[in-house]
Amino acid sequence: MNKILLIIQREYLSRVKKKSFLVITFLVPVLFIAMYSAIIYLAVNPDVLGDKKKIQVIDESGWFANQLKSSATMQFTYDTTKYAVVKSNFLKSDYDYFLYIPASLTGIQLYGEKKPSTNITQKIEETLSNVAQTHRLADAHIDSTILANAQKSISIEAMQLTQKGDKNAHVGAAFGVGMICAFLIYMALLLYGVQVMRGVLEEKVSRIVEVIISSVKPMQLMMGKIIGVGLVGLTQFVLWIVLSICLTTLAGTYFIKNNSKAITEKTTEISKATPVNAATTAAISQNNKTENKIMDEIKSIPVVYTVTCFLFYFLFGFLLYSAVFAAVGSAVDSETETQQFMMPITLPLIFTITLSQTVIVNNPDSSLSFWLSMIPFTSPIAMMIRIQYGVPDWQLALSMLLLVLGFVFTCWAAARIYRVGILMYGKKVSYKELAKWFMYKE
């Protein structure tokens, strides 16, 4: 046992003390939060890019006069010049595009020296369609307000009925947290599992293992490397979680504070410019409801329960897969040879992460979802999605027990290959050869 602890200590400290580990550990959450903050900021404030497209409008129908409003990204200018003249002189003008609307409203075209973005064409199409619909309804003597009320969509609030009463199901939060946790485990199992394989392979190729193996048993060496690298990954993930929560809280507080201030100022400006009516009040009320809904979704996440399950499935999922990766690393002489064994190992992970986006999320209580959350090679991903939708305690306990038993069996099987392969050189390994190594007696 002391020898295993020494190996664990060596594997852990040799990686944690590296500058690259410290840089990645502390830099990744900062970059992650900064990236999404930049995305949100640019989405809310597109005008900061300073890329406003000038669009000249030729409207022969007369329906759209001053209906296309300039925005932070587009500036519309109406022109009464003939279409042929505008088209012939366009390349010499300072406009980016010109929009031609014929009297018949058929064959509307957007010209430009460069290809317009999808966003520009969609926004123009949406505005033209709304204006055209209003005109057609008016020509047919149909009240557009009545039609809009008739077409108003109906929203459903998902609720859970429990022994303690009914509560909001918070489906959005369940989907988001489940997918994030599943993806993180998927990436972690591949990332740190490959680290174990490369570590074993490097020691084998450099012949260092021949010296080490004279002092410890192959099983002890393999377990020490797996647990050591696993603790490195666990340390990194715990630090990422803590730093991400802290940074997200600070960024969220700052964003909400500034966003609320901006909304208040904007509302004040609108109130001064226009009298407060039912539509304005309804719009402000809808914005407040949306903000409250987002905050309720965030508060509904069972943080302690989710983090506890995440750490368990990450740790034992890693131990399970790392045992297999260690066996592969001991069986080959170069990283190129590992490719033939990588696909069978990673296939369950790829299969589960693919199904998680369709089958498991849409039907977390189906038979397929249940069995995927029970099989040790797929349960770390499948169960992290299912627990967000509510899993019976017996299913969670059974899944965890099977994962632990799966790790013990996989570790035993991998050790039988590891003890032979770690000292085997210059021989191309096949699956048949691995089966022979497995059957060798002690």
Tell me the mean pLDDT in the region 81-94.
Answer: 81
Tell me the mean pLDDT in the region 339-358.
Answer: 85
Residue 68's pLDDT band (boundaries 50, 70, 90)?
A: confident
> pLDDT per residue over 242-270, tens digit each?
887 777 777 666 655 665 555 555 555 44
Match domain 49-137 to its CATH number in 3.40.190.10, 3.90.110.10, 3.40.50.1100, 3.40.50.300.
3.40.190.10
Q: What pLDDT was estimated at residue 322?
A: 84
More confident residue, 108 or 212: 108
Distance CA 88, CA 92 (A): 9
Q: What's the mean per-residue pLDDT of the chain?
A: 76
- Asked if pLDDT for residue 149 goes beyond 70, the answer is yes
Distance CA 389, CA 386 (A): 5
Distance CA 19, CA 15 (A): 9
Q: What pLDDT was estimated at residue 63?
A: 80
Distance CA 275, CA 278 (A): 10
Q: What pLDDT was estimated at residue 136?
A: 80
Q: What residue spans define the domains of the chain?
A: 2-39+171-439, 49-137
If you average pLDDT over each of 11-25, 69-83, 387-401, which comes out highest?
387-401
- Asked if pLDDT for residue 426 goes beyond 80, the answer is no
Q: What pLDDT was estimated at residue 341?
A: 79
More confident residue, 271 or 416: 416
If you average pLDDT over each of 169-178, 243-252, 394-403, 409-418, which comes out highest?
394-403
More confident residue, 26 or 169: 26
- Residue among 113, 136, 116 nearest 61 (CA): 136
- Asked if pLDDT for residue 229 goes beyond 90, the answer is no
Tell me the mean pLDDT in the region 22-47.
Answer: 74
Of the listed ranges 235-249, 341-355, 393-407, the least confidently predicted one is: 235-249
Q: What pLDDT was estimated at residue 251?
A: 66
3-state secondary structure string across the chain: CHHHHHHHHHHHHHHHCCHHHHHHHHHHHHHHHHHHHHHHHHHHCHHHHCCCEEEEEEECCCCCCCCCCCCCCEEEEECCCCHHHHHHHHHHCCCCEEEEECCCCCCCEEEECCCCCHHHHHHHHHHHHHHHHHHHHHHCCCCHHHHHHHCCCCCCCCEEEECCEEEECCHHHHHHHHHHHHHHHHHHHHHHHHHHHHHHHHHHHCCHHHHHCCCCCHHHHHHHHHHHHHHHHHHHHHHHHHHHHHHHHHHHHHHHHHHHHHHHHHHHHHHHHCCCCHHHHHHHHHHHHHHHHHHHHHHCCCHHHHHHHHHHHHHHHHHHHHHHHHHHHHHCCCHHHHHHHHHHHHHHHHHHHHHHHHHHHHCCCCHHHHHHCCCCCCHHHHHHHHHHHCCCHHHHHHHHHHHHHHHHHHHHHHHHHHHHHCCCCCCCCCHHHHHHHHHCCC
Tell me the mean pLDDT in the region 200-224.
Answer: 72
Distance CA 74, CA 120 (A): 8
Burial 38-48 (b: 16+ CB within 10 A, else e): eeeeeeeeeee
- Asked if pLDDT for residue 165 goes beyond 70, the answer is no
- Asked if pLDDT for residue 273 goes beyond 50, the answer is no
Name the pTM for this structure. Answer: 0.66
Return the percentage of the chain with pLDDT > 90, whole number. Answer: 6
